[in-house]
Structure 1
Amino acid sequence: MADVNRRIVLASRPHGEPTPAHFRMEEARAPTPKAGEVLLRNRYLSLDPYMRGRMSATKSYAKPVEIGETMVGGTVSEVVASQNPDFQPGSVVTAFGGWQDYSVSDGKGLRRLDPAAAPMTTALGILGMPGMTAYTGLLNIGRPKAGETVVVAAATGPVGSLVGQIAKLKGARAVGIAGGPEKCAFLRDELGFAAAIDHRGPDLPGALAAACPDGIDVYFENVGGAVFDAVLPLLNDFARIPVCGLVSGYSLTDLPPGPDRSPLLMRAVLTKRLHIQGFIVWDFADQESAFLTEVGGWLEEGRVKHREDIVEGLEKAPEAFVGLLKGRNFGKLLVSVS
């Protein structure tokens, strides 16, 4: 086992959009597990939009990464040394190992994986946190019904793509919003969405209205900004809006320009009796087993599909993460650590 642990730390807090310069690669001696601990070699690292919030000192649902600390992130990891009787060397687990080669865990929160049952990478995507986010947010808050129209933003991402597919399985009509013709074609041709709208096109509001002639019953919010502005006038009475993310605003340094549109929103909330609810996936932690069983079954049967975008090498993580916030990835973004 190598005794050097490469890790990527937060070098400085960004004001606006982050760049690779806000990160720094360091090397240190690999840690040694103490009694009750295991040493993990991180095989795959998940890159996710929430990490942008952890780079800021602003109060949120989770504490920020401090300057000089290793960036946080979910991992698929292999146990390489163990002082914990519950985990043997060679076991493969999901962990929160962060942006580094090795991490130490006391065993709490680790989930054993069977690489023969599904590819390891699915545990960070369709069968991991993003998949559970889609499953719990849509079914608990969106509550799609047969015949309804469900619109999802960032629809080719690991959350949005599963949202649309679950909506279809529930008998609803799925409309996806994505960036670029290739992604829109994937939604229609591979995932079977009823319509796909390019948010970079010349007339997003008009294109969305044409794709939703009967209005929108469920809008799964991942983006905010101009996409939500196009959605708002089309919302039907009693529409449900699970708010999962607002990636278009994560790097704003001030309020967006233009008039205050909050009165328009609040009027719609009142007159259309909208249900808008923000959520964090672990609000529904007790549903993890049901999620793994149901979505795992759909995946095995071929009823849901997924796409991965894998970057080779831990050193590429900062550049890949910056690209994620700009929508450059196509599918679930992962780093093959070594």
Structure 2
Amino acid sequence: MSQTNRQFVLGKRPEGKPDRDTFELEETGIPEPKHGEVLVRTLFLSVDPYMRGRMRDRESYADPWDVGEPMAGHVVGEVVDSEHDDWQAGEFVFGNGSWSEYATLDGDDLTPVEPSANVPLESYLGVLGMPGRTAYFGTREVVEPTPGDTVAVSGAAGAVGSTVGQLASFAGARVVGFAGSDEKVDYLEDDLGFDAGINYKETDDYRAALDEAAPEGVDGYFDNVGGPISDAVFTQLNVDARVAVCGQIATYNDEGVATGPRKLPLLIPSRARVQGLLVGDYVARFEQANARLQEWVESGDLVHRESIVDGFENAPDAFLGLFEGDNIGKQVVNVAEPSE
């Protein structure tokens, strides 16, 4: 085992879009676990759009990072040393760690993971992790698709959106997804079973494109993006439509608040319900979601993909790539391989 531990800390608060200078790589010693803790070697690290909000010096649903503080994120790792009765060296675990090669984590907060033919380790950061649970509860509890509904999904080729579309399809809905390339649209339609995909980067009129893909209007909208796409969808909402606001990545790097035509009046004739979505509100039911998602994945009914960036030193690039639309499915960093 290496005697040094590399970690990324927040080097400075970005103005607008982050860049490599936002992150600072440090070398430290490998920490030793205290009573109740486990030393975990990171195998896969998750990077997620919400992390951009933690780089701002203001309160939100997730506490902001201090400059110089290690970046935090979900990890799948291997137990190296344990001072906790439930964990032994060599076991694979999922937990809330940091952008580091090694970390000591509270053993009570870790979850065992078991790779298989249809369930690689990295999937526990995607379809079987926070994104999958977000899709599960957001689709079933907020969007509530029923047979004959039309459900629109923005960011449809991402970790959350790709699962949302499939779950809506399982419920009998017609599913339309917005994505940022022809390759992603093909993935939606050919691999995931979406009824229609719209390449928003090649579309001048989102409203007209949606009208063609969803001529009966939109009954449910799962919003991962915000911005002009959501503006267009709001004009097509049917009476009693349900909208889940999960993410607004189109505006995460904006320094000011955009102004323009107000969309709230559109909710009056549609009587649509618009609800913010935080997966942490459903923590008491995570086991239910995990079990159901795992059944679908192991049976092959629920398709998933992970975009893997190799090398711990490339974690910042993996994160920055989220804002360029580099990933299909969940963006993860492969930090190390399991011990033999």
| TM-score, reference length from structure 1 | 0.96
How many Å apart are 1:116 and its aligned residue? 3.6
Equivalents in 2 of 1:86, 1:332: separation in Å?
A: 29
Equivalents in 2 of 1:30, 1:135: separation in Å?
A: 37
Question: Which amino acid letter does the alignment assign opposite residue 214 of structure 2?
Answer: C
Contact 2:166 2:302 survives alignment (8 Å): yes
Equivalents in 2 of 1:116, 1:322: separation in Å?
A: 30
How many Å apart are 1:121 and its aligned residue? 0.9
Contact 1:37 1:107 survives alignment (8 Å): yes
Contact 1:136 1:287 survives alignment (8 Å): no
Q: Which residue of 2 aligns with 1:240?
A: 242
Contact 2:40 2:102 survives alignment (8 Å): yes
Q: Does 1:206 align with 2:200?
A: no
Question: Which amino acid letter does the alignment assign opposite residue 104 of structure 1?
Answer: T
Equivalents in 1 of 2:322, 2:27: separation in Å?
A: 25
Between 173-182 and 248-257, the greater mean CA deviation after superposition:
248-257
Q: Which residue of 1 aligns with 2:167?
A: 166
Q: Which residue of 2 aligns with 1:320?
A: 318
Q: Which of 302, 308, 311 matches 1:310?
A: 308
Q: Which residue of 2 aligns with 1:297?
A: 295
How many Å apart are 1:70 and its aligned residue? 0.9
How many Å apart are 1:115 and its aligned residue? 2.1
Equivalents in 1 of 2:98, 2:50: separation in Å?
A: 13
Q: Which residue of 1 aligns with 2:252?
A: 250
| Deviant stretches of 4+, over 3 Å | none
Equivalents in 1 of 2:230, 2:36: separation in Å?
A: 48
Contact 1:198 1:204 survives alignment (8 Å): no
Q: Which residue of 2 aligns with 1:215?
A: 217
Q: Does 1:50 align with 2:45?
A: no
Equivalents in 2 of 1:318, 1:299: separation in Å?
A: 29
Note the alpha carbon deviations across 1:153-175, whole angstroms, 9 max, x for none: 01011100000000010001111
Note the alpha carbon deviations across 1:250-284, whole angstroms, 9 max, x for none: 01011225x3x23xx22222221111110211111
Q: Does 1:36 align with 2:47?
A: no
* 3-state SS of 2:21 partner: helix
Q: Does 1:130 align with 2:128?
A: no
Question: Which amino acid letter does the alignment assign opposite residue 304 of structure 1?
Answer: L
How many Å apart are 1:203 and its aligned residue? 2.5
Note the alpha carbon deviations across 1:294-335, whole angstroms, 9 max, x for none: 111111221110111100111101112111122121221010
* 3-state SS of 2:9 partner: strand
Q: Does 1:286 align with 2:288?
A: no
Contact 2:159 2:328 survives alignment (8 Å): no
Between 203-212 and 125-134, the greater mean CA deviation after superposition:
203-212
Question: Which amino acid letter does the alignment assign opposite residue 104 of structure 2?
Answer: V
How many Å apart are 1:113 and its aligned residue? 1.0
* 3-state SS of 2:70 partner: coil
How many Å apart are 1:105 and its aligned residue? 1.2
Equivalents in 2 of 1:312, 1:116: separation in Å?
A: 21
Quote the sequence identity (%).
44
Note the alpha carbon deviations across 1:216-258, whole angstroms, 9 max, x for none: 000000000010111011000111001110000101011225x
| TM-score, reference length from structure 2 | 0.96
Question: Which amino acid letter does the alignment assign opposite residue 126 of structure 1?
Answer: V
